[in-house]
Amino acid sequence: MLFGRRPRQINRVLIVEDEPLIAFDTEHFLSEEGFEIHATVDRVAQAIEHIETSGESIDLVLVDVQLADGSGIEVAEAAHRHGVAALFVTGDCPSEAKHVAAGCLAKPYQQRDLLGAIRAIDDVLQARKVRKLPAAFTLFAEPAVRT
C-alpha cells in the first residue's frame, strides 16, 4: 500500500463519474487500497444529495468536471460548502474552480497517480509536508478542505 503505516485522514470517498468503466475501475482499485467507497454516482444531483445528507461521513469527493447532466464544478462547490475536500479528475482542469477543490488530476491517469494525488491532499489535511506530486496532478495552493 502506498500510504504504508502512516494513518490517513482520507478514508471515505464519493466517486462522481459518468463513464461506467472508469467509475468501476476507480471504485474497485480504491477499495483494494483500503478506502471505503461511500457511493459511486453519475449525476450532479445525486452527488450533491449525498454530500448534503452525508457530508460529515465523506472525506473526499473524486469528481469528473464534464458530467452528462451538468458540471462537476457544482459538485465541488457543494463539497466546499460542507467542508469536504474535492479532487477533480478530468481531461481539462478548470482553473476557474481552484477555490472549491484541493487539486486536479488530469485524465487519463495511472492508478499510482491517483493514489499520489490522494496522498498529497491527505498530507495537506494533516499539515504534513507534501511529498513528490504525480506529473498529472496539480495541487491547488489553498485547498478547500475541512480543518
The answer to whether residue 16 sits within a structural domain is yes
Within a domain: 94: yes
Let me know if residue 25 belongs to a domain: yes
Domain carrying residue 115: 12-134
Task: Give domain status of residue 108, yes or no.
Answer: yes
> Domain containing 67 — which CATH number?
3.40.50.2300
Q: What is the structure's pLDDT at 55?
A: 64
Task: Quote the number of domains for the chain.
Answer: 1
In-domain check, residue 139: no
**Cell output for 50:** 449525498
Instruction: Confirm whether 109 is domain-assigned.
Output: yes
pLDDT (tens digit per residue) in 14-49: 999 999 999 999 999 999 999 999 999 999 999 999
For residue 91, being part of any structural domain is answered with yes
Specify the pTM.
Answer: 0.89
3-state secondary structure of 29: helix
Pairing of strands 103-106, 137-139: antiparallel
DSSP state of 133: P
6 within a domain of the structure (yes/no): no
What is the radius of gyration, based on Cα positions, of the chain?
13
Quote the pLDDT of residue 4: 52
**Average pLDDT of 46-57?**
90
H or E element that contains 16 = strand 12-16
